[in-house]
Amino acid sequence: MKILFLGDVMGRAGRRAITENLPRLRETWALDFVVVNGENATSGMGLSGAHAKVLLDAGADCVTLGDHAFDQKDMLQFIEHEPRVIRPLNFSKASPGKGSRLFTTKNGRKVLVMQALGQVFMKRPFDDPFSAVEPVFKTHPLGGQADAIVVDFHCEATSEKMAMGHWCDGRASLVVGTHTHVPTADAMILPGGTAHLSDAGMCGDYNSVIGMEKHEPLRRFITGMPKDRFTPATGEATLSGVYIETDDQTGKATRIEMVRQGGRLQQCGP
């Protein structure tokens, strides 16, 4: 299978980049399945139901969330009726929605997508992500019930992301980090056959501070004092993410390529 994962969609610029480019990429790259992290698609903080529909209509098969999962309050109801949107497995036990789902592609292949939140440097204490993913692997073994498995690990520390990659090695097709909005350069296939990238980066304007207009973040760094709200940058966005190909028999990765399309970053893709 050919699978594309796109990192955190950041505000209007990120949404526009998805709607303008994803339909073309699906056709050009003959993609079987697309996962988009929509964590920051609405004003840079969370995802509304209306903007979730925008991402899904543009060609996303699954939209993942993150620590800002329910910053937009209508997502509390929307996620109950839209199973293609998933929140982290180890979010509050009282939260609506699910942290994993088995999808069926148009050609009948089964793709499991799950998401977990890290613990290191995160503002809120979340449950252990390693034990959170374990039961999902047991009920949906790679190459058995699932032809491919994608793990979105949403956290700050690259060390924790790399640890999750090794923890899942041989049991997932792809483990990819999200949340920090800056793409890392460590795309690789681990010894057990799992593709890994510590952070997919963001789909947003990189002439910014992690997707936000520069002036207010700079003011706070320099003076230590806030003045205005953070607002997403609105220039041309770069689609950032990762592309993998999997073996039809085992579900393990046979190819991994970093993806950067449009905007300011050096371009790359399959």
Handedness of CA 70, 74, 78, 84 (dihedral sign): negative
Q: Which of 51, 68, 179, 196 is catalytic?
A: 68
- Strands (DSSP E) found in 7-131: 8-9, 33-37, 62-64, 85-86, 100-104, 110-117
> How many other CB atoms are found less than 10 A from the CB of residue 263?
19
SS3 151: strand
Phi, psi of 85 (to 5 degrees): -105, 125
Pairing, β 110-117 against β 100-104: antiparallel
Task: Please answer whether residues 96 and 104 qualify as being in contact, where contact means their C-beta atoms are separated by less than 8 angstroms.
Answer: no
Cβ neighbors of 48 (< 8 A, separation 6 or more) are 41, 42, 72, 74, 75, 78
The answer to whether 215 is a known catalytic residue is no
Point out which residues pair with 244 in neighbouring strands. Answer: 3, 256
What b/e readout covers 177-193, taking b as 16+ CB neighbours within 10 angstroms? bbbbbebbeebebbeeb
Residue 183 is classified by DSSP as -
Question: What order do you get walking across the sheet with 195-197 strand by strand?
Answer: 100-104, 110-117, 148-154, 174-178, 195-197, 188-189
Known catalytic residues? 68
